[in-house]
Amino acid sequence: MDISAAELKERIDKGESLHIIDVRNQLEFHTFNIGGTNIPLGKLTSTIEDLDFDSEDELILICAHGIRSKTAVQLLEQSGFTNVRNLKGGILSIKRLTN
């Protein structure tokens, strides 16, 4: 299931404690990010078992445009996570809201 940039920004602004996983590479993450844990998509498959989340925790996956994070959602769902959301339009959609 997707989450819109507006909904995510509203939840961040309210100070909600969110589990955000950013699957962009480290350079992209350090250039601009909204927090969360940076696990590049290429490393996600080898680290899924090490994630410190319950299978029913809401996990919000983000990347630049929403494509890599959509793949990450599928990987996590295949590994038993049941409440995984993809940021529609990626972090660029969040950036547009803040400009």
In angstroms, rounded to a whole number, what is the distance separating the alpha carbons of residues 13 and 1?
Answer: 21
Q: Kindly list the catalytic residues.
A: 63
- Spell out the residues 6+ positions from residue 89 whose beta carbon is closer than 8 angstroms to its own: 4, 5, 65, 66
In angstroms, rounded to a whole number, what is the distance separating the alpha carbons of residues 96 and 57?
Answer: 28
Task: Kindly state the DSSP code that residue 35 receives in the 8-state scheme.
Answer: S
- Among residues 4, 11, 6, 21, the alpha carbon closest in space to that of 60 is found at 21
